[in-house]
Amino acid sequence: MTYPIEKIRADFPILNEKIRNKPLVYLDNAASCQKPQAVIDSLVHLYSHDYANVHRGVHTLSVRSTDLFEAAREKVKSFINAQSEKEIIFVRGTTDAINLIAQTYGKANIHAGDEIIITAMEHHSNIVPWQMLCEEKGAILKVAPMNLAGELLMPEFEALLNAKTKLVTVVHMSNALGTINPVEKIIELAHAQNIPVLLDGAQAIPHMPVDVQALDCDFYVFSGHKLYAPTGVGVLYGKQALLEAMPPYQGGGDMIRTVTFEKSTYAGLPHKFEAGTPSIAEVIGLGAAIDYLNSIGMEAIAAHEAELLAYATEQALQIDGLKIIGEAKEKGGILSFTLHKIHPHDIGTMLDSLGIAIRAGHHCAMPVMDFYKVPATARASFAMYNTKAEIDVLMSGIRNLIEMFG
């Protein structure tokens, strides 16, 4: 079957926008993705017909909202092939999920002298919460190194594992480099020593099929907004036994069974970790995004994006003075690059004047920038709706701005 690119593009109303009088070429998908009409409609429909608070009322609207909300949990469960919907905790996003794990699982299980392993290519959100925990507990953060291509050095990673290691937490796909880490191997090595593994799936989830049972990861976290869903919703998947054993995170409404002034007892999974009114519409929007993605198929999306990346890489290599940052063999749709003597921010502003949206900066991965000894990179990142024609516009823009800088 051919990939229905025309239909997909028609499903994203923002792709009709003109930016500075030019057709929008949106290549900042790793920062956040645009939303299909189906997701936008799900919000409008909810607020127009079905909205009320969830889990709280016997009235009709509360029941409708609760049903839609819990149906979204079921969709997430199937999408990542979790065993039970009890394993799907709705949070605000990847950052929120990692902090939750650090503050509950981390606080309960990681003590002075224990070690946590991350990699050299983590997003700040998978560094800082662990640094904070280590500081508080007197634990030690170990960083598995990578090579210049941006690939994790597996022997060095393996050598870091030991009896003091209490958690391995690794980015599934790097937002700064595009590297897809060998997570199956990482999990196998860690599990051989009974060490749980957390995968930061923020970038991987929109670009490939993810099966948490096949992976056998202990935690998997991602953000809705990078998966064509609204902001303000994310998912924390955790194996049920681990989640059961963890203390609750925030206290409040919805996460309790009974409350007296002397003592409260907590609700079961998943509600134990969902204190307070959740992002109701956003969760339901995430369900709509998953329905939409399923209608196209994650395999098809992955194949389309792999083709875009191969084409963009081949084109980019022909440009004098362009250096690709991140050349891992296993790589997702991210082209991070620098141009000789032209700062990424100038690249970003110049491309914007042509209607092209890319990211220029450190991508919340300052240690990666330090590793490559660059202050920042320019990054084009691809999504299900991008085309080769758009990559041609990008490449022509790059050639022209190089000429202008002289």
Interface with ligand PLP by CB under 6 A: which residues? Answer: 93-95, 123, 125-126, 171, 175, 200, 202-203, 223, 364
Comparing CA positions, the residue from 170, 80, 181 lying closest to residue 125 is 170
| Min CB(20)–another protein separation in Å | 6
Is residue 344 at the binding interface for another protein, with CB under 8 A as the rule? Answer: yes
Q: Of the candidates 346, 357, 372, 387, which one interacts with another protein according to CB under 8 A?
A: 346
Of 30-38, 225-233, 244-252, 347-355, the window that binds another protein (rule: CB under 8 A) is: 347-355
Bridge partners for 378 per DSSP = 337, 360
Q: CA separation (Å) from 350 to 99, 315, 385?
A: 37, 19, 23
Q: Of the candidates 67, 74, 353, 388, which one interacts with another protein according to CB under 8 A?
A: 353
Q: Do the Cβ atoms of 47 and 281 come closer than 8 Å?
A: yes
CA pair distance 204, 339, nearest whole angstrom: 27
User: 345 is in the binding site of which of ligand PLP, another protein, none (Cβ under 5 to 8 A by kind)?
Assistant: another protein
Pick 95 or 377: Cβ nearer ligand PLP: 95
Kindly name the residue from 33, 134, 217, 364 that is annotated as catalytic. Answer: 364
CA pair distance 163, 115, nearest whole angstrom: 9
Token digits of residue 349: 């502003």
Interacting positions 359-378 with another protein (CB under 8 A): 360-362, 366, 369, 375-376
Please provide residue 270's backbone torsions phi and psi, each rounded to the nearest 5 degrees: -85, -5
Q: Which amino acid is at 75?
A: K
Give 336's DSSP letter: E
| Min CB(315)–another protein separation in Å | 18
Of 45-53, 97-105, 251-259, 343-351, the window that binds another protein (rule: CB under 8 A) is: 343-351
**Lateral strand order in the sheet of 88-91:** 88-91, 234-238, 219-223, 197-200, 165-171, 115-119, 140-144
State whether residue 191 is helix, strand or coil: helix
Q: Do the Cβ atoms of 222 and 94 come closer than 8 Å?
A: yes
CA pair distance 93, 119, nearest whole angstrom: 21
Comparing CA positions, the residue from 267, 124, 134 lying closest to residue 200 is 124
Pick 227 or 351: Cβ nearer another protein: 351
β-strand pairing of 25-26 with 219-223: unpaired
Q: Of the candidates 246, 350, 378, 383, which one interacts with another protein according to CB under 8 A?
A: 350
User: 95 is in the binding site of which of another protein, ligand PLP, none (Cβ under 5 to 8 A by kind)?
Assistant: ligand PLP
| Min CB(9)–ligand PLP separation in Å | 24
CA pair distance 365, 373, nearest whole angstrom: 12
Is residue 190 at the binding interface for another protein, with CB under 8 A as the rule? Answer: no
Pick 20 or 388: Cβ nearer another protein: 20
- Confirm whether 364 is a catalytic residue: yes
Interacting positions 15-44 with another protein (CB under 8 A): 20
| Min CB(173)–ligand PLP separation in Å | 7
| Min CB(216)–another protein separation in Å | 38
Q: Which amino acid is at 22?
A: K
Interacting positions 377-406 with another protein (CB under 8 A): 397, 400-401, 404-406
| Min CB(41)–another protein separation in Å | 32
Please provide residue 266's backbone torsions phi and psi, each rounded to the nearest 5 degrees: -100, 155
* Active-site residue list: 364
| Contact set with another protein (CB under 8 A) | 20, 342-346, 349-350, 353-354, 360-362, 366, 369, 375-376, 397, 400-401, 404-406
